[in-house]
Amino acid sequence: MTGRRMPASARGARRRRGWGRAAQYAALLCYLAFLAFPLLWLVSTAFKSPRELGSVDPSWLPHHPTLDNFRKAFAEQPLLHAALNSVAVAGAAALVSVAIAVPAAYATVRFRTAVGRAGTVWVLVSQAFPLVLIIIPLFMVLKVMHLIDSRPGLGLVYVVWTLPFALWMLQGYVRAVPVSLEEAAAIDGCGRYRTLRSVVVPLLLPGLVATLMFSFVTAWNEFFFALVLLKSPEKQTMSVILTHFLGAEGAADLGPLAAASVLATLPSLLFFALLQRHLVQGMLSGAVKG
Amino acid sequence: MSRSGPATHRDAWFLLLPALIPVLVLSVGPLLYGAALAFTDAQSGVRHSTTFTGLDNFRALRLDSLFWQSFRIGLVWAVCVTVLQLLLSLGLALLLNRNLRFRWLARTLALVPWAMPEVVIGIMWRLVYNPDAGVLNNALRDLRLTDGTTDWLSSMSLALPAVIVVGVWAGMPQTTVVLLAGLQNVPAELHEAAGLDGAGPWRGFTTVTWPALRPVALSVMALNFIWNFNSFGLVYVLTGGGPGGKTQLPMLFAYAEAFRYGQFGYAAAMGLAMVAVVAVLLAVFLRNRLTREDG
């Protein structure tokens, strides 16, 4: 019906659109390649045998996938211990950070006080300072408190480190709680804290879990503070242990290095898969709507 | 909740206090202390007693050509990574905003770098760039573009560009997500109106999409620049600042000054010099954000 009667200009437009589509798919393909190939290479390296790794003409996928590299990785470095350290430090830090961020987020959204506003700005500003400027005095302060080379000391730093984004995300979720519900609770005779506990927090729960996971991932992935603040090998976290595979000369055993890297990424990746939707929402409410 | 009065203010204080104390002790305090250290000769040893030295550190810093070289490298790195990040992320966000097949795959993949520890991203790209067993040289050899023996991260001329590519890869997710969110806020009617007026895709982008997206893009660029300028872990793992200091970002330089040579005061002065750059960008970002909040 449309074919024959269609005016030439419309047909041209449709052909142009067809070309446009093709170009879009080509561009998407380039992006997919750029994003995926390094990842594919990392995973593939982790499963290759030493003979394949030494090959002059390396293949994209391992011909004989093996778990040897994982076994060797655990033998070469205290991976399990490092993972437990990371879980303990990042987990505790995330819990504390969210626990103190919830009331703060509520207060900054619901009461427009000068302190709240200053706090929000500070949280943003503090992210912008080069870490050298913070780490040197922090190192000195923690030394006085005997919290250098101590996991609780690092955890304490991570609480403050994860707080800004936790606060940011939670502010978005608090804004989404209808004020009318709180007013209804107030009319029913609930006090401020009772309202917070029995009306606001239950509604925040999904956002709370998302924030908790995000804070955990942030702390699990962190490298700089752990590098400076922890010295003993048995206290090291995952990120720092990974760099030990690189050796002093950078002549690393590639297989175990890749295997350990894959393992170190799994927890973060798992949480991110669960978080995907929330993150996009969090960014929406935090960054775009202001 | 428009109630206000002494009771409400006390409530707000109680709610804020648990977050305020750690922030004051471990963030505000150390930063002020750190800024003050820049005017002293503080060193890492306990025996050494710190004295106030005024502007001595800054006078020495002004003549420290190695630091300024590192500072320049930091600026080149931050500008290149930030601009490339914005352009590539904008392209990706525009594509993801279309109704294309495999969009879900790109969406998922685009988030992965965000989840990965910095150290793992560094290690992964070291495997890619590896001169003998790396996939990049292998692919270039197969395509007959080079002889495939390039030592990317040890080459004086290629190390910085190679590291910049990694920086772009690592930072794309956040930028893409923010820009995509911004795109989805552009009213569809505007596009339709532009389409009816006969505007092509490019005209549509410049007259409808970009004006709506500009504030978001500027904010995300300012933040990205700050993060990139202060970045540490990625390059630490990739090159350690080598070869011959060609990828020595200012953070790496200051880290070595503080924790390898123990010059706390001098390193703090370097930190303050970096703040000067960051402050300008931060002002741009905050003004942007605050005007949008009020508007």
- Give per-residue pLDDT as tens, B225-271: 988 999 999 999 999 887 888 999 999 999 999 999 989 999 999 99
Looking at residue A250, its pLDDT comes to 53
3-state SS assignment for residue B52: strand
What is the greatest pairwise CA distance in chain A? Answer: 85
CATH assignment at residue A268: 1.10.3720.10
A15 shares a domain with A153: no
Contact A31 B106 (CB under 8 A): yes
Residue A119 lies in a domain: yes
A246 shares a domain with A147: yes
Q: Does B15 touch chain A (CB under 8 A)?
A: yes
Residue A273 lies in a domain: yes
3-state SS assignment for residue B40: strand
A157 shares a domain with A96: yes
Three-class SS of chain A: CHHHHCCHHHHHHHHHHHHHHHHHHHHHHHHHHHHHHHHHHHHHHHCCCHHHHCCCCCCCCCCCCCCHHHHHHHHHCCHHHHHHHHHHHHHHHHHHHHHHHHHHHHHHHHCCCHHHHHHHHHHHHHCCCCHHHHHHHHHHHHHHCCCCCCHHHHHHHHHHHHHHHHHHHHHHHHHHCCHHHHHHHHHCCCCHHHHHHHHHHHHHHHHHHHHHHHHHHHHHHCCHHHHHHCCCHHHCCHHHHHHHCCCCCCCCCHHHHHHHHHHHHHHHHHHHHHHHHHHHHHHHHHHHCC
Residue, of A86 and A53, whose pLDDT is higher: A86
Contact B237 A113 (CB under 8 A): no
Residue A52 lies in a domain: no
Residue A56 lies in a domain: no
- How many domains does chain A fold into? 2
Looking at residue A90, its pLDDT comes to 96
A117 shares a domain with A17: no
A184 shares a domain with A243: yes
The amino acid at A81: H
Q: How many CB pairs under 8 A join A and B?
A: 290
pLDDT band at residue A38 using 50, 70 and 90 as cut-offs: very high
A113 shares a domain with A28: no
Residue A124 lies in a domain: yes
| pLDDT one-digit tens code per residue, A92-141 | 999 999 999 999 988 888 887 777 777 777 777 777 788 888 899 999 88
Residue A61 lies in a domain: no
A27 shares a domain with A127: no
A267 shares a domain with A161: yes
Looking at residue B46, its pLDDT comes to 60
Give the percent of chain A with pLDDT over 70.
87
Residue A23 lies in a domain: yes
> Who among B135, B268, B289 is closest to A58 (CB)?
B135
Looking at residue A286, its pLDDT comes to 45
Looking at residue B15, its pLDDT comes to 85
What is the arithmetic mean of pLDDT over A8-34?
A: 78
Residue, of A280 and A188, whose pLDDT is higher: A188
Q: Which domain holds residue A23?
A: 2-46
Domain B69-294: CATH superfamily is MetI-like (1.10.3720.10)
A85 shares a domain with A27: no
A153 shares a domain with A37: no
Looking at residue B121, its pLDDT comes to 95
Domain ranges of chain B: 69-294
| pLDDT one-digit tens code per residue, A147-185 | 989 999 999 999 998 998 888 888 888 888 888 888 888
A190 shares a domain with A123: yes
Residue A58 lies in a domain: no
CA–CA dist A272, A79 (Å, integer): 22
What is the arithmetic mean of pLDDT over A274-289?
A: 58
Looking at residue A1, its pLDDT comes to 41
- What are the residue ranges in chain B where pLDDT is below 50? 1-5, 295
Q: Dihedral of CA A274/A276/A282/A283: which sign?
A: positive
A255 shares a domain with A183: yes
Q: Does A198 touch chain B (CB under 8 A)?
A: no
CA–CA distance from A203 to each of A99, A166, A182, A206, A276 (Å)? 15, 17, 11, 8, 20
Q: Which residues of A touch B114 (CB under 8 A)?
A: 272, 279
